[in-house]
Amino acid sequence: MSNYFLRRLVSIVALAFGISVLVFLIIRLIPGDPAITLLGTNAGDASLVARLHQQLGLDQPVQVQYLRWIGNFLRGDFGYSYGDQRSVSSLLAANFPATIQLTLAGLALSVVFGSLLGVLAAVRRNRAADTVTMGIALTCMSIPSFWLGLLLILLFAVKFPIFNVVGGTSLKGLVLPAVTLALSSIGFNARFVRSSVVSAQQQKYVITARAKGISGWQVFRKHVLRNALLPILTIVGLQVGQLISGVVIVETVFSRPGIGRLLVQSILSKDYLTVQAVVLIIAVAYAVINLVVDLLYPVLDPRVANR
C-alpha cells in the first residue's frame, strides 16, 4: 500500500514536470512577442523592446527562462500578468472561488441526477422506463453545452426573467450555469450507473441473498447498490477534467468571472505567465484528484485492498 502510494506520488511529480515543460514550450510557440504587445505604439523603438525583454527575462535562453519560472513557481511566486500588471496570484485568487463553486455545483448535479436516472433504468431494465431514461441520457450527452446555455438564457432571462443570468456569483445566478455544465455529465453518469447496477444484479451473491429469502428491496439496497455505486467514485475523478473543459465554455456563455474566462482571455492576449500558471495548476490538480480517488477506493472497497 505505502509502496503503491510512493510509486503514484513519484509518477505524479514526473507528470507535473512533463506538463510544466510542455506548457512552457507551447506558450513559447505562440506567434507574437509579448513585449511588443505591451509596448503598443512604442514597439517601433528597438531599445525599448530590448530593455523590456531584459526586465521580463525574455532575453535569456529558453532553459534559463524555464528554470527561473519553475523555481519561482514552486516558491509560490507566479510572476506578474503581462496584461494588467497585477500579480498572477491575485488574478488566480480573484477567479478561482467562482470556478470552484460552479464545478462543485455541476459535479453534485451530475452525480445525483445521473445516479437516479441510472438506477431507475437498471431497475426497469428492458422496459419502457429504461428506454426512455437511456434516450434522455443520450440526448443529454448530445446537446452542445453552449447551445443549451444560450437556450436557457433565452428562456429564463429574456422571455421569463426568473434568474439573473449574466455575471454575478449569487446562488440564484449559479442555477443556470450549473445545469448547463452538468447536463452532459448527467447523461454519461446515467449510462455508467445503469451498466454498473445491472452487472451487480447479476452477481451470484445477489442470487444467494434472494434464495435466503431476503426481501427484494433489502437485497437491492445492501448488495446491489453498495457495490454498484462505488465505481462512480472513479468516474467522478475523470469527470472533473470534463467539467473543467465545460467550465471554460459555460463561463464564456454566461459571462461569469472565473478561471475559464481568465484562461481564454490570457491566451488571446498572449499573457504567458497567466496561461502557464493556470494550465499547470489545473492539470496538476486534475492529477492529484485522480490520485486521491485511487487511494480512497481501497478504503471504501475492501476487495480492492486485499488484492
Residues lying near other proteins in the complex (CB under 8 A) are found at: 15, 18-19, 22-23, 26-27, 29-31, 138-139, 141-147, 150-151, 153-154, 158, 191, 194-195, 198-199, 202, 241-242, 244-245, 248-249, 252-253, 260, 263-264, 267-268, 279, 282-283, 286-287
Question: How near is the Cβ of 302 to other proteins at its closest, in Å?
Answer: 26
CB-CB contact of 266 with 86 (8 Å): no
Beta bridge partners of 80: 87
Q: What is the Cα–Cα distance from 291 to 261, expressed in whole angstroms? A: 27
Q: What is the Cα–Cα distance from 43 to 260, expressed in whole angstroms? A: 30
Q: What's the CA angle centered on 197, arms 142 and 206, to 5 degrees?
A: 170
- The pairs formed by 151-155 with CB atoms below 8 angstroms and a separation of 24 or more are 152/176, 152/179, 152/180, 153/253, 153/254
- By beta-carbon proximity to other proteins, the closer residue of 178 and 240 is 240
Question: How near is the Cβ of 198 to other proteins at its closest, in Å?
Answer: 5
- By beta-carbon proximity to other proteins, the closer residue of 48 and 245 is 245
- By beta-carbon proximity to other proteins, the closer residue of 48 and 70 is 70
- By beta-carbon proximity to other proteins, the closer residue of 36 and 214 is 36
Question: How near is the Cβ of 245 to other proteins at its closest, in Å?
Answer: 4
- By beta-carbon proximity to other proteins, the closer residue of 21 and 64 is 21
- By beta-carbon proximity to other proteins, the closer residue of 37 and 51 is 37
Query: For residue 50, what is the enclosing H or E element?
Result: helix 46-56
- By beta-carbon proximity to other proteins, the closer residue of 206 and 283 is 283
Beta bridge partners of 87: 80
Query: Which distant-in-sequence residues (6+ apart) come within 8 Å of 220 by Cβ?
Result: 123
Question: How near is the Cβ of 136 to other proteins at its closest, in Å?
Answer: 11
Question: How near is the Cβ of 41 to other proteins at its closest, in Å?
Answer: 24
Question: How near is the Cβ of 150 to other proteins at its closest, in Å?
Answer: 5
Q: What is the Cα–Cα distance from 269 to 300, expressed in whole angstroms? A: 46
Question: How near is the Cβ of 42 to other proteins at its closest, in Å?
Answer: 25
CA 243 to chain centre: 4
User: In terms of C-beta density within 10 A (0-12 exposed, 13-18 middle, 19 or more buried), how is residue 267 classed?
Assistant: middle
CB-CB contact of 151 with 95 (8 Å): no
Q: How many distinct helices (H) and strands (E) make up the chain?
A: 15, 0
Q: What's the CA angle centered on 247, arms 244 and 253, to 5 degrees?
A: 160
- By beta-carbon proximity to other proteins, the closer residue of 25 and 304 is 25
Question: How near is the Cβ of 285 to other proteins at its closest, in Å?
Answer: 10
